[in-house]
Amino acid sequence: MFTQTLIHLLIFYVLKSDCMLYTKGTESREVRELGGIWQFRADTSDGRNLGFEKQWYTRPLAMTGDVIDMPVPSSFNDITQDRMLRDFVGWVWYEKNFFPPRTWKTAKQRIFLKFESAHYNSIVWLNGKQVAAHEGGHLPFQAEVTHLLNFGYSNRLTAAINNTLTPYTLPPGTITYPKHQSHYPKGYFVQNFQTDFFNYAGIHRPVKLYTTPMLYISDITVVTKISGTTGIVNYNIRVEGASSPVTYTIRLFDAEGMKVAVGQKASGQLNVSNAHLWWPCTMSEHPAYLYTLKVKIEDGSDEDMYDVAVGIRTVEVTKTKFLINGKPFYFLGVGKHEDADIRGKGLDYPTMIKDLNLMKWLGINSFRTSHYPYAEEIMDLCDRHGIVVIDESTAVGMKTVDNFSDTTLQHHLAVMEELVTRDKNHPSVVMWSVANEPNATLVEAGAYFKRVVDYTRTLDGTRPVTLVTGGNLKPEFDNAAMYGDVICLNTYFSWYGNPGRLEVIQYQASTNLRAWFEKFQRPVIQAEYGSDALPGLHTDPPMMFSEEYQIDLLTEYFKVFDEVRSEFFVGEMIWNFADFSTAQTNALIGARNMKGILTRQRQPKSAARIIKKRYYQIGNTTVQTHNKESKIYIFSIKSIPVA
């Protein structure tokens, strides 16, 4: 059924262009957003291949059959009242007609088309000509289209997106066909998931046209260090399209706009005296401190300009501590799905800012991008507001031997390269997570994750690497955790195991945490723990699914965390920030995972205030100092009433 479409991707994958820098307008670059209302249709043919067989990309999509309006960015699943479209698996087709600016025609420049994210496999045509293809969701891809645009005429942009999950995708899944075909409609099949969240699909983030000069900056890498009170900013600039030797003008500005360092080479080191360091400061009234690195390149006939935010900070891991700027950092965090109210995983600015304000209200200083990379706009907010991020790949649900094949491995390495390339300059990103809850009992998992972790370290040697271990797995049966720098554990005592038996948590959680530390001698984070709670369900004595049970379960975990915090334990991250969508099962009401301390509509459950009280109490014991204009400022946490 899906053989032909996979062949398409294998043939054209080489057309994918590297995308290094976030797309934004500068003095030398212009951006045209192509979001809004697109034409849309799903290929409901038995093989999901009719669009390729009839070459829908060669003519207006409306000429191929019925189309509907579809917002971009969004997930197509939750936009209509069509039950079949919500659960659709296979190829869907998008189309947008646009006019490029007339001024772009005569300018001597390059023009790129960029998709910030589409899930899962994508093929893109411009005016009937294929320009790009990409495998995997949640990360950007682009193509140069300078000579393919029609100026003075409408241009037709067509995209085919396929959300099918196979044993070799990340996340993986399987397709099965019922044995008794007489009991099912013609062509019937089932997409089986190996994750507990809904397989939202579509064009999830903005689509943009942007220009660069013929000579342009294709990448900037920034690495910071600290020596005494001096901040060290090492930089490297990659340039494309030079026709003669390039002149570099590098300037570093502080937050007040004052120039503090200059450079004149493609790579070099800038020293900042009495540097302001980037500190986590979620509960402070002050933003995180950011410098701005402004880069200008010239080759005599052309020039390009670009700037990146720079947070001067270091990250280190010892046997028992996670250090930021040489000081112990304790993760007061959450697991978080990028799952907006009715928009699936579509980038939504109001929800993004609402979530930021809720995290501040709760005293959250960190989160994990479970279980895929989030929009870069979110990462920028974390840089500015001092929220620490564990940046996770799409490798979730790896359960079978097939999921550790060489095919998957090569894709996994490509995903890590795309992720590190995109997010390497964000000071908020302090650790890479290469996977969530893989079946590490398999022998194949050991060699597999050694390759992935080692490769990630070659991409970025400045941050620790982890993989998140799931379930109640005993450390002696794990073949992968040894390759990470930090042990991240997901456990659900008194929920999936010993349901309703809250009295066992202190024994089982303490034993579990200590066993992992003793085995691997690395700092430990509780990356997930919690229980479902139906909003408004109250029982006394507490029973499972009630808000009271969620509170009591968390409280039992807190006792263990407080016991080991002074030893090797460096963070607690409740699962989950907010309720999120799942596939339909008879075990989850309304196809929702309700482990959130907030509802999906971002209303607090009772547990939210318990978390808030705890996080503020712990946070108030921590202060950070900033040297500003020769004065020492103590950024302590403002006390906020919990009730």
Pairing assessment for the beta strands 118-119 and 202-203 based on DSSP bridges: antiparallel
Gap between the Cα atoms of 567 and 15, Å rounded: 51
d(CA 121, CA 137): 7
Q: Which stretches of 285-399 are DSSP H helices?
A: 349-362, 376-385
Question: 62 — phi, psi (to 5°)?
Answer: -65, -20
- Which residues, including other chains, have CB under 8 Å from residue 571's CB and lie 6 or more apart? 322, 330, 331, 332, 333, 366, 525, 526
Residue 68's contacts (CB-CB under 8 Å, 6 or more residues apart) are 39, 40, 41, 80
C-alpha–C-alpha distance, residues 384 and 157, integer Å: 35
In the structure encoding, which two tokens stand for residue 537, read together? 């369900």
Q: Is 376 a catalytic residue?
A: no
H/E run at residue 456:
helix 443-459
Task: Give the count of beta carbons closer than 10 Å to the beta carbon of residue 467.
Answer: 29
> CA-based Rg of the chain, rounded to a whole angstrom?
25
In this structure, the dihedral spanned by the alpha carbons of residues 142, 202, 397 and 485, taken in order and rounded to 10 degrees, is 40
Element (H, E) at 86: helix 83-86
DSSP type of residue 586 = T
Concatenating the DSSP letter of every residue in 170-224 gives: SS-EEEE--S-GGGS-TT--EEEESSSS----EE-S-EEEEEEESSEEEEEEEEE
Residues 112, 92: Cα–Cα separation, whole Å: 23
Residue pair 433/335 in contact by the 8 Å Cβ criterion: no
For tokens 């062949």, name the residue: 7
Please check whether residue 432 is in contact with residue 283, taking contact to mean a CB–CB distance below 8 angstroms. Answer: no
Question: One of 116, 437, 547, 556 is an active-site residue; which one?
Answer: 437
What are the Cα distances from residue 463, in Å, to 48, 370, 625?
42, 18, 23
Cα–Cα distance measured from residue 172 to residue 400, given in angstroms and rounded to the nearest whole number:
9
Q: Are 619 and 363 a contacting pair, CB within 8 Å?
A: yes
Is residue 420 within a helix (H) or strand (E), and if so which, with residue range? helix 406-423
Give the Cα separation of 232 and 268 in Å (integer).
10
Cβ-contact 310, 427 below 8 angstroms: yes
Rounded to an integer, what distance in angstroms lies between the CA atom of residue 48 and that of residue 79?
A: 21
Query: Known catalytic residues?
Result: 437
